[in-house]
A and B are shown apart, each in its own frame.
Chain A
Amino acid sequence: MEVFQSHRKSSSNNVIVSILPFYRSAPPLEVRLEDFEFFAMDRLRVLKGISDGLCRGKKPEEMEKLVVDLWKANMRHPQAVEEVNKDIISHFVLRLVYCRTEELRKWFLSMETTLFRHRFRLESSEAQRALMSEFKLPYKAVSNAEFESVKDKLGQVARSMGQNLAAADAIFYKVPFEEVPDLVSGRRVFIHKGHAYVAMNQVVSLVVTQFRSYISKALILTNRKWTSTIREQEKDRLTPIVEALCTSYLGPDYSQPQEFGEISIKDIDQVAKTSFPLCMRHLFEKVKEDHHLKHGGRMQLGLFLKGVGLKLDDALAFWKAEFAPKVSAERFDKEYAYNIRHNYGREGKRTDYTPYSCQKIISVTPGIGDHHGCPYRHFSEENLRAALVRMGLSSRAVEDVMDKVHNRHYQLACTLTFEAVHGSSCDAGINHPNQYFIDSQRVLQSKNGSVA
């Protein structure tokens, strides 16, 4: 396993190992199957946390803190060697998971690069220098004497870009100008006799660019290996784990209705109006209108209702009553009841199915006659605007939501909708329809002193 180690001496003269791997090659370690999955899930929490932070437009300083917190929460280990192992193993497992389509690769590359960028910035300068030589970047640190002689020019360059030459940036690297064409092109460096003087923050960009390009190529190779050999070879062992990982939702699963206990059948109409997210409102309205829903819709709404607290008997009664104009009682019992019981874990292998998360709902594409999926993604602009207005959003709020939709931030759109409907902010963002419901009930209860 190629792991770069740099040593930092603490004041008590103990050598502290500070390690930032850049995943050159897969580790020849033995990994337990559980660790294979769990390490990957922990790292995935970090990456999804980063993704979330980026979506919310967090500034670089905030992102840096977020990365530190996420890493501490999920990847820390008291023994440095164990931490490094987990770091490397989890990265390589996720490579398998995320190499398989263009979209997955793009996401993974983006998150891993951001993670690397912030971790690199947090390293000591010796560690950074050593990493740069590992990347074979021909950078030489500028000596103090030389720095003094060019300080004015370096300051000029910084100010020409609207920045200041802070004392912290007094670390500069000298490199042949041919190595940094982008910086030369934009006149973002001082050049003298063929050498460019590159500031520390610019160096970070360059290292990160190298990292990104390396991981990008590695992902393509991994994909080839996956499709040609690994997937088949591992179909009984690793493949199922890998395939499940990227769709895994990592928050609470809402399979057991919590705080508000039960919702009875007579409450549904009321709570649908006040506390259902748009996707479920739509399905609910459609089932009332059409007296029918196709399978996808029944699953999505049915499991949601289970999570909301609808008991099995009430669920059966609900669907039977709604379908009654089109489906006789006998036919209902024959064709639909079984599936509902199945969803509640009373049939077949008795899996207690969990309600779908936003990620899952967004990823499906409804067909003709379907009403499930995420409306922020699939509704036409016209229909979506109309639906938002019906939910009571002001035109300003509608514009804000549509802006998120145009940028394909569907969950943020739903979050803004929640905030507009309830008049209170939702910092955590919406990740699950049942979360929307619970948060909504919470807000309403605190306003009215009772469940709406």
Chain B
Amino acid sequence: MTKEEADNGRDDMVIDVPGQANAVPDGFNANYLRIYYGKLFPHADMFKWMSYGNDGKHPGCDKSYFGRREFSFTLENDIYIRFQSFNSVTELENSIKEKCPFKIDIGPVYSVDPAKRHAYAQSGNNVFTPVERELVFDIDISDYDDVRYCCTGADVCLECWPLMTIAIKVIDTSLRDDFGFNHILWVYSGRRGVHCWVCDGKARRLTNEQRAAIADYFHVYKGNENSQKKISLPGLVLHPFLARSYTEVLKGFFEAKLLPNQNLLASEERYEKILEMIPDASVASELRRRWQENKRASMSKDDINIVRWEQLKSILQSGKQKMQGLRRCVEEIVFSYTYPRLDMEVSRHMNHLLKAPFCVHPKTASGRTEQGRTKTRC
């Protein structure tokens, strides 16, 4: 099995200052990991969570449940072992402490103990197949590199982290209000973004097709470096989900925070990216002309980004615009900057392995760990 992370990730690590050989190295270190697993990692809580009440302590519980869950470990030297399973919290704890995995992933609950999978055929009646798995989402800040100018890649700062915050708000609200889910955990993924674990029984029992449907429901941002237009909102009005996300979260955030903080309209390089999204060339030229004239001084004390944004909105939303593509242009711009960019593949399949919360990430030199956060604390 190949590991997800590339080896050059180790470059992030802080190296000891030469001449201080006796100082305690503050980079990532297998010893620290041992201490972490010995004293800090919440084995009992993980067990309790993953058991979903099947802890063997009361009648009606399924004693085999926890033992049918797959874990995978990434060990030192990139050795990757799948289909690890444990029958009790003690087994789980001992295995982790003994192996000191650099990364722990959580997989689905299978029909039988993964350790016994070879005894079962892949088809017919007796199968080894996933039966339960949380509904999960993965949002990566590095997917937003084209709309943030303060950081790139795995770096995050107070200016751009809010992109994650609003993504969480949009998705979380929908999961609760639209889909009726209640038990939702958002965790920092330890490096570049957030993971969402939806733990309702109904969610765990979703089929791959249903997961794909939910992922597609959330799929609005479509594109990569090669596509010009990544958000397309046809139709006379927005679907209630998109409309609510826009009016309650995205519009406000874009206009009050992202626009001024990232100076999205202040310079030619940056405003060209927005002008490119306007399908009517004459409208775009008109704005370009105005902004080129007003390069140096702004007319008022207001932030130049906000002034220009108001100009753009007033042209695009004026009743005079008849062209089809312009109807939702303003929303499309806001969506393309702020709408959650999900990794679709993560959510679609029950057997996708996702990093466990409370793992220490080897690539985060400062040793940030995954921590749970609820929506309110965001």
**Chain A residues with a Cβ under 8 A of chain B:** 153, 156-157, 159-162, 177-178, 181-182, 184-187, 190-195
Contacts and interface: CB of A to CB of B under 8 A. Distances in A.
Interface residues of B, number: 25
Given A186-B216, A193-B177, A193-B180, A178 B210 contact: yes
A156 B238 contact: yes
Contacts of B216: 184-186
A192 B176 CA distance: 9
B235 interface: yes
B57 interface: no
B237 A160 contact: yes
Contact of B238 (A160, A162, A191): A160
A153 B240 contact: yes
24 contacts: A156-B240, A156-B243, A157-B239, A159-B236, A159-B237, A160-B238, A161-B235, A162-B235, A177-B213, A178-B202, A178-B207, A181-B209, A181-B213, A184-B213, A185-B212, A185-B213, A185-B216, A187-B217, A191-B179, A193-B179, A194-B179, A194-B180, A194-B181, A195-B180
Contacts, number: 62
Nearest to B178: A191
Interface of B: 177-181, 202, 206-207, 209-210, 212-214, 216-217, 234-243
Nearest to B176: A193
Contacts of B213: 177, 181-182, 184-185
A161 B217 CA distance: 14
A193 B243 CA distance: 17
A438 B282 CA distance: 60
A146 to B, nearest CB: 16
B75 to A, nearest CB: 38
Contacts of A191: 178-179, 217, 241
A81 B122 CA distance: 49
A187 B239 contact: yes
Contacts of B181: 194
Contact of A187 (B179, B202, B241): B241
A181 B241 contact: no
B267 to A, nearest CB: 35
* Shortest beta-carbon contacts, A-B, top 3: A194-B180, A181-B213, A185-B216
Contacts of B242: 160, 187
Given A177-B179, A191-B178, A194-B202, A184 B214 contact: yes
A160 B236 contact: yes
Contacts of A178: 202, 206-207, 210
Given A177-B179, A185-B212, A156 B217 contact: no
B344 to A, nearest CB: 12
**Which of A159, A186, A187, A193 counts the most B-chain CB atoms under 10 A from its CB?**
A187
Contact of A192 (B177, B235, B238): B177
Contacts of B180: 192-195
A259 B239 CA distance: 63
A391 to B, nearest CB: 43
A160 B177 contact: no
B212 A181 contact: yes
B53 to A, nearest CB: 21
Nearest to B241: A187
Contacts of A195: 180
Given A187-B241, A193-B178, 11 more contacts: A159-B237, A160-B242, A178-B206, A181-B213, A182-B213, A184-B213, A184-B214, A187-B217, A190-B240, A192-B177, A194-B180
A178 B212 CA distance: 11
A159 B206 CA distance: 30
A255 to B, nearest CB: 55
A159 B243 CA distance: 13
A153 B241 CA distance: 10
B349 to A, nearest CB: 14
B217 A185 contact: yes
A194 B180 CA distance: 5
A319 to B, nearest CB: 61
Nearest to B208: A181
B249 to A, nearest CB: 17
B330 to A, nearest CB: 16
B155 to A, nearest CB: 34
Contacts of A153: 240
Contacts of B217: 184-185, 187, 191
A193 B176 CA distance: 7
Contacts of B206: 178
A177 B180 CA distance: 10
A446 B243 CA distance: 64
A182 B216 CA distance: 9
A185 B217 CA distance: 5
Nearest to A181: B213
Contacts of B210: 178, 181
Contacts of B234: 162
